Chains A and B, each alone.
Chain A
Amino acid sequence: MMNVSVKNIVVTGVTAGLCLPLALFAIILVPIPGLPAASGFWIPAGFYFVMTLWFGFWGALGGHIATTLAMGYFFGYTLQIWADGGLGDLIAPLVCFLIFKMTGADPELKTKRDYTIWVVAVLASSLVCGLWVHTVNLLFGVITWPFWWVGVLTYFIGDSLAVLIVGTPLLKTLTGYVKASSMYVWSQ
């Protein structure tokens, strides 16, 4: 049984609370015709990717809760919504976190190597997530095969861009500030 602390719960709750309104905005501001509950620029991803890199699994869980609640608000609290976007947005930041862990990169992005790993990790996680989300959509019958490719590609591009554009300045400017806290997962 996982050892859960108060800090873990707070990280999840705060991440979810922060990302929920951002997710609602993202769906309204940049919808994609043909792909329900999708957004062309998934703003909250930038935040929960960063939260995951700083605080581990609990940041990703916060992103998952926010995505599920936000997508469901517009398109119904359905199994399909939870399985595609909800779970997808749990998997993606964890893939990124794993890559950082395996390569020993610094989330503060101090060196060129850190930057490169960051970009590669984001692209890899967005691709994995895009494949997951649209395979689920295909299995649920929301989309058909030709749209599967469209979905994966738009997801890959939209998510990667959002994470790189939103997440990079956050990592660069605030990692130093977060490192000082006992919640920072790399110092535990």
Chain B
Amino acid sequence: MPRTFFIYVEEKSPLLKLHPLLKISSLLAINLLAWIIDSPVILLSLTITLLLAFKLFKIPLARIRKFIVFAILIVQAVMLSYLLGSTIPGNIVFYRFPWGAYISDMTLVYAFTMIMKFLLMLWGSTLLLAVMRDTDIVYGLISMKIPYYLAFTVNLAFRLSTVFLEDYAKVRDAMILRGTSFSEKSIVQRARNYVRLGTPLMVIAIRRMFEMTNTLIIKGFDPSRKRSHLYDFNLTIRDKALLLLISTTVFLTFLLKTLWGLFTFPGWPFNG
């Protein structure tokens, strides 16, 4: 099963084969649409469509269940913020707080709308993460003509994060074997124990910097020099058409909202 960004996905998902630039563009487009559109009904429809897309594109929902926890966190964060701290006028006021904020019917609607925005962005990210390999992110950045050396640093980050994770586990185990308890009652002592982990990790990181620099130089890596690529980042006609469709959708949505006031919610305080 191919390994995507922390998730394994069935080989038959058609989204897997999508050009990396299209995956990143789709991600950006969903984000932008989520911010442009203020209509709760449309946002809800889009969110439900995205969830259905998981089924359509053969991505097992079970694989993304841990993200449900974070979705819940976002929901509670937004709800708390709006319920306790907003003054959105509405038809009915349910409760007034001593500090001036109040809960009205529109508070609930606006809070719901904001939640839909975030869920749309979250599910969009999750859908694309499920079909995006670490290499896609790097290739996607390259095909966006971002300087190679920047894309390469992201590559190094992915490459080294798993290595450092192993280092962290080894250092932690070594400390436990020398009598350190990471479940100390005292928060100060717990903090000290975790801080102590920092020194060996940093020493290992610095040593790796020196060794890796030598390795890269020997492999001919030079940020100032033009390089070739093994992979074709050329877009097919189909890719170009999809890209055009994505960008046109975003542009048109923005235009329709700005010029004709579509996709807004009357009385919405955060227009544009």
- Whether chain B is bound by chain A comes out as yes
Interface window among A101-109, A120-128, A164-172: A164-172
**Chain A, range 61-81, C-beta contacts under 8 Å to B:** 61-62, 65-66, 69, 72-80
A72 to B137, CA, bound (A): 13
Q: How far is the CA of A143 from the CA of B161 in the complex (A)?
A: 31
Residues of A within 8 A of B213 (CB): 6-7, 10, 183
The answer to the question of A99 belonging to the interface, with a C-beta cut-off of 8 Å to chain B, is no
**Interface 1/0 per residue, A149-188 and B, CB below 8 Å:** 0000000000000000110011001100110010100000
Q: With A50-B202, A177-B203 known to touch, is A14 a contact of B160 (CB < 8 Å)?
A: yes
Measured CA separation A177–B206 after assembly (Å): 9
Are A144 and B85 in contact (CB-based, < 8 A)?
Answer: yes
CA of A13 to CA of B32, assembled, Å: 29
The reply on A86 being an interface residue by CB < 8 A is: no
Total interface residues on B, using CB and 8 Å?
A: 71
Interface residue SS majority, chain A: helix
- B128 → A minimal CB distance (Å): 8
The residues of B that contact A4 with a CB separation of less than 8 Å are 147, 149, 223-224
In the complex with contacts A47-B202, A76-B124, A144-B82 CB distance below 8 A? yes
Q: Which of A6, A11, A66, A145: most chain B CB closer than 10 A?
A: A6
The secondary structure that dominates the B interface is helix
Please tell me if A142 contacts chain B, counting CB pairs below 8 Å.
yes
Q: List chain A residues, Cβ under 8 A from B201.
A: 18, 47
**A residues in contact with B160, CB < 8 Å:** 13-14, 16-18
Stretch at the interface among A30-38, A90-98, A111-119: A30-38
Which of B85, B153, B213, B221 has most A Cβ within 10 Å? B153
Shortest C-beta distance, B220 to chain A (Å), equals 10
Q: How far is the CB of B155 from chain A (nearest CB, A)?
A: 8
Q: How far is the CA of A6 from the CA of B160 in the complex (A)?
A: 16
